[in-house]
Amino acid sequence: MSRLMGFVHDRVEAAGHEIDYLCADDVPPTWAGWFGRRFAFPMAVRSKAIEANASGRPYDVVNVHEPCAAPVVIGRRGAHAPAVVVTSHGLERRAWELAKEEAHLGREGPGWRTRMTYPVSGLWPGDLALRRADHVFCLNEDDRGVLLRRFGRSPQSVTRILPGADEVYARAADARDYSRMKRVLFAGTWRKNKGIEDLVPAFGALAARHPDLRLHVVGAGVSPDVVLARFPEPVRARVQCETPSDDREMARAFADADVFLLPSLFEGTPLTLMQAMMSGLPIVTTATCGMKDVIADQQTGLLVPIRSPESLVSAVDRVVGDHGLRVRLGRAARAEAVDRYTWDRVAAPVLRAYEALTQTSLSSACHRRPATETP
């Protein structure tokens, strides 16, 4: 959330608004002992809003991540009753239903302790926040539909937002000629929802078919040993891990790749998908969540079913064996990203929502500040 909101709010700030940020590192350590980690952050958000009100410069908007939002929504009247925007990067309720479905299918699912505690500690507060917030930002049309149908929200109170990609990704890949086909890129946190249970067998099969093919894992958020341990011993030498330090290094990793593979089970809309499009990479990803909203199958990428390593192998095989397909998919994806997914464009709906929420209060106080609170 912090990266997406940071890039978007740079544009909101450029439009003349003030932005304050509160992150988990800003929470006093003693608060975690008093309230527990789950509640310390939202209590700190509420405290910051009360402090701003007491100083005579109250916030007009507090934007808070869905898992931390319930105490903020409930306690807003003590903080000058600012408008509360809840941002969801994939509805907690939908993620939970998918996790239980995974267990039912014999795949890795939630443990017994999580099954006992999470409905009370995570689902109920999330549901409450989504119902009572003044506005909700979500990252795909499936989530938007659930918010309208199950949570009874009006269409005007839900804004579907998207990640963007910096043009540094396009510039870094200017020289791409699509003649080489040796490096598969997986860019994302190394965790279940990203489809790693399907990525591992899929790349094992691809490695057996294509002796020169390598897998580049970028931004896993865990040590290389954790990643490599998931692969069979004969495949490990063909898996490389990297953690870029900034967008310039990240863009170079995308420019060096030949195909982008993202087999996610559940997402909002991943930032790396836009970066891959901006880099002109041919894309193979799953037909779920924000991926199917953004990628037009056979036009800007190839969509495959979730939980299907065989489909991943088949799609990558097509890309490996068809130079013309690589060119067509990659160039179409890049053109789409340059036209629709720059940060200036994707920030516009956020700015409109903020200004609609603050229209009444701005008539009496011109210098209040929208705030983003990110765990």
pLDDT tens by residue, 238-292: 999 999 999 999 999 999 999 999 999 999 999 999 999 999 999 999 999 999 9
Q: Which of 196, 257, 203 is nearest to 226 (CA)?
A: 196
For residues 187 and 277, membership in a common domain is answered with yes
- Shared domain for 248 and 355, answered yes or no, is no
Q: Coil, helix or strand for 187? A: strand
Question: Does the structure show a pLDDT above 80 at 116?
Answer: yes
Statement to judge: residues 111 and 136 lie in one domain = yes
Q: Do 276 and 226 share a structural domain?
A: yes
Please give the backbone phi and psi of residue 24, each rounded to the nearest 5 degrees, phi first. -60, -35
Name which of 250, 131, 101, 259 is nearest 188 in CA terms.
250
Query: pTM of the predicted model, to two decimals?
Result: 0.92
Average pLDDT of the residues of the chain:
91
Q: How far apart are CA 214 and CA 253, in angstroms?
A: 13
Residues 260 and 369 in one domain: no
Do 245 and 140 fall within a single domain? no
User: Does an H or E element contain 319, and which?
Assistant: helix 309-321
Domain that holds residue 24: 2-164+343-373
- Where does the pLDDT of residue 175 fall: very low under 50, low under 70, confident under 90, or very high at 90 and above? very high
Q: Which two tokens stand for residue 155?
A: 């269409």
Is residue 155 located within the same domain as residue 250? no
Residues 349 and 310 in one domain: no
- Other beta carbons less than 10 A from residue 57's beta carbon: 14
Q: What pLDDT sits at residue 366? A: 45
Number of domains in the chain: 2
Q: Are residues 183 and 329 in the same domain?
A: yes
Chain segment 40-74, per-residue pLDDT in tens: 888 888 888 888 888 888 899 999 999 888 888 88
DSSP assignments along 90-122, one per residue: S-HHHHHHHHHHHHHTTS----HHHHHHHIIII
Which of 75 and 322 is assigned the larger pLDDT? Answer: 322
Structure tokens at 4: 């997406």
- 367 pLDDT band, cuts 50/70/90, is very low
Q: Are residues 93 and 146 in the same domain?
A: yes
CATH code of 226's domain: 3.40.50.2000
Residue 173 identity: A
Q: Do 193 and 273 belong together in one domain? A: yes
